[in-house]
Amino acid sequence: MNRREFLLSGVAALVISGPAAAQMQDHSKHGMDMPGMSPGDGKMAAPGPLPTLPEGAPLRDLPRLANRASGPGRFEAELTARPATVRFAEGIETPILAYDGETPGPLIEVTEGDKVAIRFANRLPGEETTIHWHGMPVPADQDGNPMDPVLSGADRLYTFELPEGSAGSYWYHPHPHGRTAEQVYRGLAGAFIVKPRQDPIPAAYGDTPLFFTDLRLAADGSIPANSMADLMNGRVGDHVLVNGQKKPVLTLPAGCRRRFRLFNATNARFLHLNFGEAPVTLIGSDGGLLEAPVTGLRTIDLAPAERAEIIVAFDQPGRLVLRAEDVDHGWMGPGRPDTAADVMTIDVTADKAEQPPPLSAKLRSIVDLGQPVVRRRLEFTETMSMGEGGMKMGFLINGVAFDMNRVDLVAKAGQTELWEIANLADMDHPFHLHGTQFQPVETERDGRVSKTPYRAWKDTINVARGQTVRLLVRQDHPGLRMYHCHILEHEQLGMMGVVEVRA
Ligand code: C2O
Ligand code: CU
Ligand code: CU
């Protein structure tokens, strides 16, 4: 019997251990968990029609975190995580967890070279949390590791300095032990943009963040807990939101070019985005601009946690749809959701924009990391074993589940390493590393190697089923750093490890 069939016949006895187990118990109190059912099975909690979300409002700007510093070169602010409510659907208040009462959280925007000091208050009742600065080169003890929890009711100051060359599109989210997935799907995530001192992209293109999250609402308007199917496959919500809105509208004049920063802040949804007929130029990845624009693209693929910077030319008047296409990335059990969705509309009006200035052919240089002196191999596996009470499911790296008190790898700061990530499992797993940006080198599948066509800084990369990816990695700061699958339910179930970087 193959693995998938085994899962199906054994579902009733499926056992999940660790932090997830507690959530599952929680969940079954509401009498809604039948593993293997559709990913929306949590909805059974409250009978009645599911709320519909209003669509078509003008795209809003993300709220901003105010800088209270008195002088230049500094960013000082306060940020609070606490319960809040949002009116996603007409007349229904949805309880969420939020940074400063908003989901997505406020946009943090700083400039390269800034000294950042953010005083964080955890006002989540009975829950510890942290803030992880996803992708940013911050010291390990400021990076919101699960080993550094901020207890419920406590405050802490996060401080770091953003070096020259770190301009890029990052994000921030909680990273407490065993509760990251839930805190994120309940609303805790926000964009963090580091601007360069001199921006090579013409200001006339604008700079619009599109922060994607996905939401599932029960009939009573609440956000249901993760089901067994969510834990196995990663939670895919029912509504893709852009800056917290369902299918908003952006109105632009014909002939204009726009710069967008795309953030996939969903727990587990792969986004395959296109702007209809409009041509897309890729200018940046997770860690900032590419060396040269990549023109003529039709789709932008973003695995959970990935970001991209693009320029779209809106030449013709008319209505365009920013659409996500459905692609199968592996699914256990029945009920794989159709992830196709229209996520935003762009109304291109007939009034002509002024002729936009051209994009320069060279955006910046990206350093050559040189020859690796260390090679490592990480293997992703999904395992099932018989345990007391039934089947036990594991999401593992090199055969083991995450242990906060274990160091899995030891690296030396400043040394270039080659990391080979092999996915031996049935689902795609987006690999993410803390503390630095890496450079993808090549991918391999069925013995065929494809070189990565251009140099880019990345902190998250999808590793498809049966694929191996190779990356050049250099950590510049000592300390403990996590690496994990960024399907947050998989991270929670153990697909994470620790690298200790020594000076
Ligand atoms: Cu975006 Cu370890 O996280
Ligand atoms: Cu991270
Ligand atoms: Cu995964």
- Encode pLDDT of 201-257 as tens digits: 999 999 999 999 999 999 999 999 999 999 999 999 999 999 999 999 999 999 999
Section 378-403 average pLDDT: 87
Ligand with smallest separation from the Cα of 175: 1
- The model's confidence at residue 9, banded by pLDDT at 50, 70 and 90, is very low
> Parallel, antiparallel, or unpaired for β 74-89 and 115-122?
parallel
Question: Considering the chain, what percentage of its residues have pLDDT values greater than 90?
Answer: 85
Section 280-285 average pLDDT: 98
Section 281-291 average pLDDT: 98
- The model's confidence at residue 31, banded by pLDDT at 50, 70 and 90, is very low
Rounded to 5 degrees, what are φ and ψ at 185? -70, -15
CA–CA separation, 61 and 67 (whole Å): 17
- The model's confidence at residue 46, banded by pLDDT at 50, 70 and 90, is low
Residue 484 Cβ inside 6 Å of ligand 1? The answer reads: yes
Residue 432 Cβ inside 6 Å of ligand 1? The answer reads: yes
Nearest to 454 by CA among 439, 467, 474, 435: 439
Q: Does the bond joining 104 to the residue before it have cis omega, within 30 degrees of 0?
A: yes
Residue 112 has pLDDT above 80, yes or no: yes
Q: Which residues surround ligand 3, an ion (CB under 5 A)?
A: 429, 485, 487, 490
CA–CA separation, 142 and 161 (whole Å): 11
Section 298-309 average pLDDT: 97
Name which residue sits closest to atom 1 of ligand 1, judged by CA.
134
Task: Name the strand (E) or helix (H) holding 301.
Answer: strand 300-302
Question: Considering the chain, what percentage of its residues have pLDDT values greater than 70?
Answer: 90
Name which residue sits closest to atom 3 of ligand 1, judged by CA.
134
- The model's confidence at residue 174, banded by pLDDT at 50, 70 and 90, is very high
Residue 455 Cβ inside 6 Å of ligand 1? The answer reads: no
